[in-house]
Structures are given as structure tokens and as C-alpha cells.
Structure 1
């Protein structure tokens, strides 16, 4: 329930402390787009309003890497909500982490079916809650990003002036679908592990074991895995994600066939894979001082 309209800005911020904390994590710690992230927060708040309980609180309890993936899934949901020209939707569930978080049936079809209600509800939350509660954090993120962008541009320009010009007509070597890749894979130790890492997620209720993941990719692509890191969970819980570090960066391009995301079936269980994108972490904004809300 939204706070009364007569509360001060400070009281309003305190009322939305966890929303501000999650937004700060997205735009400051994970460097996500501030405007898009406001829509993401509004989507999660809308889900709470239509009956999915404690979405924001549950997300805040997760590791950063899962929060970032959930934000990506939320963007996919927003694309479905805002695009009435989508030809078709996958019969499978393309938002496995969100479904696992909600612990109820939730798919892209749900958002497509309720597009009108979702559009109106999210817009109202943005206007009545997000703009007021998150405006200062958004402004801080935009200014920080602009400063970093300018510094990066100057660095790239300075670097490019020192590089020799590439002569036209010379053949370019690359990898991708259909490329002639020599096996076994060559260990690319000079390439940072993060650049050779793929992130995979699993559906809740359909546990996938480490040996299954390793066996699937080894059988299909040879001895391509350097290391595999499953999410650490208690013995009675299932891992919802894993990170796979490959020997060669090109292995990821071949496995994903040039796509940003791909779905595989391992022993009858769906697995979603995408290239791992590490995020730069920055300190969060200081929390607002506690204020008692009027009864």
C-alpha cells in the first residue's frame, strides 16, 4: 500500500527503503541503465500488487549475480508487455529464475495475456512511486555514468591515436557458427576467465547436477571446460545456476551459435545459457536515517 500523500520526502524514502536499496544495487553496484532499472523495479512492485508476495525482499536476499540475471529477465518481460507485435512466444518458460523466485507458475505468456493491465499498473507505479522514491539515486547514477563515459571515450581516443592503421583487404580471422575450429581446444590462459565464462540457469523443481552439465557439453563440444562452478546450496536444495569457464573464448560463440541466449535440454531438463557479463561493483549510497511514519 502506498504511503499517504502528505508525508515528507524523507518519510517517503524511508517507507520505500527496500525499493531504494534494490534500485541502488541495480544502478550503482551493477551499473545497469537507470531509466530501464526504474521500469524493472516498477514491474517487480506491480507483481507484488497483483498477488506475488515479497518479490523485492526475495531479490535482495540473493547474490548479485542472480539479481542481475533476474533484472535481465524482467527486461524480457517488459519487452513482451510493451510490444504487441510479437509474432510468437516460446512454449517453454524463458524466465526460469523469476519463476523459481516466485515459486508459482509464471511465464512470458502471463505477461502477454495481461499486457494492458500490466502496462497501466507499471506506468502508475513509475509515476506515483518510483519517480519520487528513486529520483535522487537515478540522478546520481546518470551523473556517475556520464563522467565514466567521458573518461572512457577520452581513453579510447588516446589509445586509437597510438595504433597502426589496418590496411583494407587483409583477411580477418574470427570464430562463430560454421567456423573451422581445431579441436582439442587450446587453453587461452592470456584471456581473462570472465571472458571465457558462460552463465547457465536451471528451472526450480528440475534439479540438474554438475556431472550432467559437464557430460553434456563435453560430449557435444569436446574437452572444452576448464572449470565448472555450481551455485553452493544446502544438501536439501537444488542449484539454480552455474558458471562454466571454458578453455577458449570462442567455445561460447560456437555453443550459443552467435545468439545472446540459448536453451538446451539436458536429460529432459531445460537449461538456459548466456555469456557471463561481469559487473563492476561500487559502494552503495548511504541509507536514509530512520524516520517514524505517521500512523
Structure 2
């Protein structure tokens, strides 16, 4: 929701010196925002980071007066409408943060009705492609402020729960696939050992390897049984993978990387795999671009194949991922 009332409360001289707003009070104030965000990430299974930005964008529409009480009204709309609106918001965010995408869309579409029909109806025709392009800097600043000042604190706990839920769901799917492969392997062995007998009456005793455990469990027999299609898909993913290295002594989190990349290049991130270390800072990470944004590789790593970013005062080097880099990075010196 728009936050002038809350800001005024925080700035009130008679209360700000002594009153501290707890997390529970803040969550209560943003209950409607949290309800809509929960629908986006749970009911509609939309990307967490994309939904995070979408909420900041909807708050901005309220704050600038384009759609007063917008978020409250979204609590009662059908899921299909909310999903369609979130798609339009995603387009707007890409227009704001991705100059190449903006120039392509604006050149190909003179009529915003074909791209933002819901937003045009909600804002009574005022929020157009031309308006977005003309006020890019103002909107980007407002969206960034909403992200930092409200969204992080209002949705952080929900984000963590969703990410944990998604990790557990992925692990369950990988475990199910693993056991299915083992069942097929066992059936194949039985058929080879006794082609003329009823397979169900044959017992072959041999130990099964343990199932995958944790996020690194996709190894061993299951990994060796990758199909040609899976190997090709993995190779294709590596073609859109950026290898990031961090300066030792300047720890940086996955969330910091996500926020920076999304702000600068748009919603291009498929996955981020930080180096797994115990009690030490990660020194490298793999950032896999979404398939639809594979063409952004050169823009991110630059034409020279290596680029330098400064994220919250910390240097990050980016280059195109090559498999050998994963092994070299763990022994190299980071500057």
C-alpha cells in the first residue's frame, strides 16, 4: 500500500524519539500488501524476485496517484486477472531497467493497448508506454526506494518461506526421479539375467546406493545416467551462464547480487549458485540467465568478455562461464 501515513507516523517528533515499530506492527500495517504478495508467489507460483519488484511497482502507482487504493482492490480480483496484471507490470519493469528491451518494444508497438490493457484501464488511460519512457529515471528511483524502504521488510519472511518450500519441492522431485531411474535400472538387470522367466518371481540381491541428500545430492549413479537430452540441456545452460568472482575480505550475499543484476539488466536471472563454503565467504558464483535472455550475455560480460561491477562498494568480476573455471576459481587469488 502507499505509505505516506506510515512515513508521517515515523517522522512525528512526538513519537519517533521513543516509539519503535516492531516487525509484527510493520507486517500488520502492510497486511494487504502481504496478502497480494502471498497470492503471487504461492497461489500463482510466480517468481519471488519478480513478484517483489511487482509489489514495489504497484505501490509506486498508488504513490503517484495513477491508481489510488490499487493493492487493496486486488485482494478481491480473480487469480487470472491478478496474474495478467503481474505480467503487464513485468513488462513495465523491463522497460524501465533494460534500455535495449525498451527501444525494441517502443519501436514495434505504437499502441499501448496491445501491451498494457489492464494498466491502461486501471489508470484511466494515463499510464502509457510513452509516459514510462519519458519518466524512466523518476520511476526507477521510486521503485528502488520502495524496494529498500518497504518491500524488503514487509516481504522478507515470506520470500524465505517460499524459497525453502521451492528447494524442498525440487529436492523431492529429484529424489523421485532418482528412484525411478533406479527402478528402471533394476528392471533392466532382471530382464537381462532372466529373459525367459517371469521377472516378478526373480529376486536379485544387490545394495542400492543411498538417495540424494540435500541440494548436492544429484550425484553418483543418477548423475551418470543422464540422457543425451539432459546433457544437451545442461550444455545449453552453460552457454548462458555468467561466472562471478568476489574480492576476498569483502563478503557479498546472493540477495545483493540479485538486486543489482535486476536493477541494471532487468528480470534476467534464472538461477544463482553461490560457492558452498563453511564459515567463510563465497568467492565465486554461477549466474544462469533465463533462456529468453541468453542474448544479454555480451551486455553483462561486455564485448571484451570480462566486466567489473561495484555492488554496495564491493568489486565483482563477471565473465562467461567455462567449466574449467569452477575448479580454477577455488585455488586462484581474488583481488
| TM-score category (smaller protein) | 0.5 to 0.7
Q: CA deviation at 1:111?
A: 1.7
Counterparts of 2:60 and 2:49, CA distance in 1:
17
Counterparts of 2:128 and 2:29, CA distance in 1:
30
Does the residue aligned with 1:85 lie in a helix, a strand or coil?
Answer: helix
TM-score computed with the length of structure 2 as normaliser? 0.46
Q: CA deviation at 1:159?
A: 4.2
Cα 1:2–1:153, aligned 2, differ >3 Å: closer, same or farther? Answer: farther
Counterparts of 2:32 and 2:122, CA distance in 1:
17
Contact 1:45 1:125 in 2 (8 A): yes
Contact 1:27 1:37 in 2 (8 A): yes
Cα 1:101–1:159, aligned 2, differ >3 Å: closer, same or farther? Answer: farther
The answer for the alignment partner of 2:51 in structure 1 is: 37
Counterparts of 1:110 and 1:158, CA distance in 2:
54
Contact 1:98 1:106 in 2 (8 A): yes
Q: CA deviation at 1:2?
A: 5.3
1:101 to 122, 128, 148: 122
User: In the TM superposition, what whole-angstrom CA distance separates every residue of 1:232-286 from its partner, at most 9, and x where no partner exists?
Assistant: xxxxxxxxxxxxxxxxxxxxxxxxxxx9xxxxxxxxxxxxxxxxxxxxxxxxxxx
Asked if 1:76 is matched to 2:91, the reply is yes
Asked if 1:56 is matched to 2:75, the reply is no
5+ residue gaps, structure 1, are 169-258, 260-295
The answer for the alignment partner of 1:92 in structure 2 is: 111
Counterparts of 2:181 and 2:97, CA distance in 1:
40
Does the residue aligned with 2:99 lie in a helix, a strand or coil?
Answer: coil
Asked if 1:11 is matched to 2:32, the reply is no
5+ residue gaps, structure 2, are 11-19, 189-224, 229-291, 293-335
Higher helix fraction (1 or 2): 2
The answer for the alignment partner of 1:237 in structure 2 is: none
Contact 1:55 1:102 in 2 (8 A): no
The answer for the alignment partner of 1:131 in structure 2 is: 152
* Rg (Cα) greater in structure: 2
| Residue-pair matches, total | 169
Q: CA deviation at 1:96?
A: 0.8
Contact 1:42 1:125 in 2 (8 A): yes
2:161 to 137, 140, 152: 140
RMSD, matched Cα:
2.5
User: In the TM superposition, what whole-angstrom CA distance separates every residue of 1:105-160 from its partner, at most 9, and x where no partner exists?
Assistant: 32233222211111110110111001111111111111111111111223334445
The answer for the alignment partner of 2:136 in structure 1 is: 115
Cα 1:2–1:149, aligned 2, differ >3 Å: closer, same or farther? Answer: farther
Cα 1:156–1:111, aligned 2, differ >3 Å: closer, same or farther? Answer: farther
TM-score computed with the length of structure 1 as normaliser? 0.52
Cα 1:80–1:51, aligned 2, differ >3 Å: closer, same or farther? Answer: same
Q: CA deviation at 1:54?
A: 1.5
Contact 1:58 1:101 in 2 (8 A): no
Does the residue aligned with 1:105 lie in a helix, a strand or coil?
Answer: coil
